[in-house]
Amino acid sequence: MTDLDTALRDLYTGRADRAPSGSDLLDAVHDRARRDRRKRMLAGIAAVVAVVLLGGLGTAIAFRPREDRTLQITDGKSMAPPPAPISVGSLPEGFVEPDVQYLGQAVWDIESHRASSALSVQVMSYQPAVRPGSGRRETIRVGDAEGTLYWLPPSAAADPASPDPTGPFAELTYQRKPGQWIRIVAVDTVRTMSQAAVMLVLIASGITDEKSPVVDTIRMTLPAGTTWGRVLGNGPHSRVTLDDAGTRPAAVGLNDLPNSHRTEQRSRLIVEVLDKDSEDVALLPRFAGQDRRLKSSEIPPEGIVIAIGSQLMFVHLVAGSDRAAVIIKVDASEPLADGGTMRTLAESVRLGVDAKIR
C-alpha cells in the first residue's frame, strides 16, 4: 500500500460506504463523493463540508460564489470578462473566500490565501504546460481521471528550472472532462507529499460546474479588435490587460502561481484603476523627466497624456468616483495610442462592486 493509499484510508475512515477488500480505497472514496454531489445538487443547497484532515490540514469549509458580483453590461455598454466555468467547494480551514481572476485566453484562476499559504485552482480548455523542475512526480487518480502530482519538499534546494523554486510546493494537473483541464497549486500549505495529495484530491472532488463570477473591479467598453486579457484584482490596484482579439490560445504559463502572476503574454494596452492621489499617479511626470508632481486637481476633464520613453500614459478621473483615477498604458506605436480612442476607453471605465477604492 502506498503512502497515498494509507493517507486516504486514515482520512476517509467512515466516509465510504464500506472499506473495499483490496487496496484501491481511492475508487470507493470517489464513488461516495460522486453520490454526495448528486444528493447536494438534487437538494439545491450548498453543503458545508467538515472534514478532519491529516497533519494539521484542519477543517474544510465550503464557499459559494457571491450573488452580488454581477458581471453584466453596465449603463447599456460596459462589459466584463466571462465567469469561470467551475466553482470550488471545500478548502482547508483558515483559507479566505477565493477571488476569481481571469488570466486571458479562456483561463481562470480561483485563488485563496491563509497567512503565508496560498491555493490556486486554474481551469482552461487545453492541457497546461509540464513543470520541468526537479521535484517528485506521481500519477494519482482524481475521480475517473488520472492526474499528475508534482511535489517539491520544504528542504528542497533552489531549483532554477522551476518558476517557484522553493518548497513546500505542490501541483496537481488533470483533465476533468473533455475540453476542460484543471491545475491546482498549493504554496507553503503542507509538509509531505501524502498530505499534499490528500488535500489536492479533496479540493478536486469538490469542483462543480456552477459558474463563478470574475472579481468585479473594472467595467469598460472594449475598443474594436481587442478582447479581455488578464483581470487581476486581489492587490491594491485593479489591473486589466486588453489583448488582440485574434490571439490564439497558448498553454498557461508556469509562472501563473498564487501571488506571482508574471507573464510573457503580450497585450495591446493595460488599464489600471488606482487612487487618484497615490504616489503612482503623482510621480508620473518625474518618470517622464519633469521635475514636478501630478496633483489629481490638475487632471483635466478630458484627461492628460504623459510620455515615458516609448510608452504613453493616459490619465483620467473615473466617472462616479471621488477617489479613483484610471491610467491607460500603451506603446506609442500601437494603433490604439490615439487620444480619442484612449479618452473614449477611459470615459467608459466604471468601478465594479469588488473595487478596492470607490
Q: Give the pLDDT score at 104.
A: 83
Domain count, the chain: 2
Alpha carbons within 13 angstroms on the beta-carbon side of residue 219 total 21
Same domain, 115 and 223: no
Q: Looking at residues 299-304, what average pLDDT do you find? A: 96
CATH number of the domain residue 278 falls in: 3.40.1000
The grid cell for 24 is 484501491
Domain of 232 in residue numbering reads as: 218-351
More confident residue, 90 or 85: 85
Rg (alpha carbons) of the chain, rounded to whole number: 23
pLDDT per position as a tens digit, 18-67: 444 433 434 444 454 444 444 443 333 233 233 333 344 444 444 444 44
| Residue 211 domain flag | no
Residues 178 and 226 in one domain: no
* Residue 174 and residue 302 in one domain: no
Residue 192 and residue 249 in one domain: no
Residue among 252, 223, 255, 257 nearest 346 (CA): 223
Strand intervals (E) in 165-319: 169-177, 180-187, 218-219, 226-232, 238-244, 256-257, 260-261, 269-275, 304-308, 311-317
Answer whether residue 210 is part of any domain.
no
The C-alpha cell of 299 is what? 487632471
Domain boundary among 205, 237, 258: 205
Examine the domain organization and report whether 264 and 322 are in the same domain: yes
> Do 177 and 286 lie in a common domain?
no
> Are 105 and 253 in a shared domain?
no
Instruction: Report phi then psi at 331, rounded to 5.
Output: -70, 140
In this structure, the answer to whether residues 186 and 46 fall within a common structural domain is yes
Is 212 a domain residue?
no
Model pLDDT for residues 344-354, shown as the tens digit of each residue: 999 999 998 88
- Say whether pLDDT at 357 is over 70: yes
Over residues 236-255, the pLDDT tens digits come to 678 898 988 877 666 566 66
Residue range 189-218, pLDDT digits in tens: 988 999 999 999 999 999 999 999 998 888
Range 90-104 average pLDDT: 89
Minimum mean pLDDT among 173-187, 220-234, 295-309: which range? 220-234
The domain boundary residue, chosen from 146, 180, 205: 205
Instruction: State the number of CA atoms in the 13 A half-sphere of 110 facing the CB.
Output: 29
Residue 213 lies in a domain: no
Q: Are residues 148 and 229 in the same domain?
A: no
Question: What mean pLDDT do residues 291-306 have?
Answer: 96
**Which of residues 205, 226, 242 is at a domain's end?**
205
Give the least confident one: 11-15, 64-68, 110-114, 170-174: 64-68
Residue 99, H or E segment:
strand 99-104
pLDDT (0 to 100) of residue 188: 87
226 assigned to some structural domain: yes
Tell whether 192 and 228 lie within a shared domain.
Answer: no
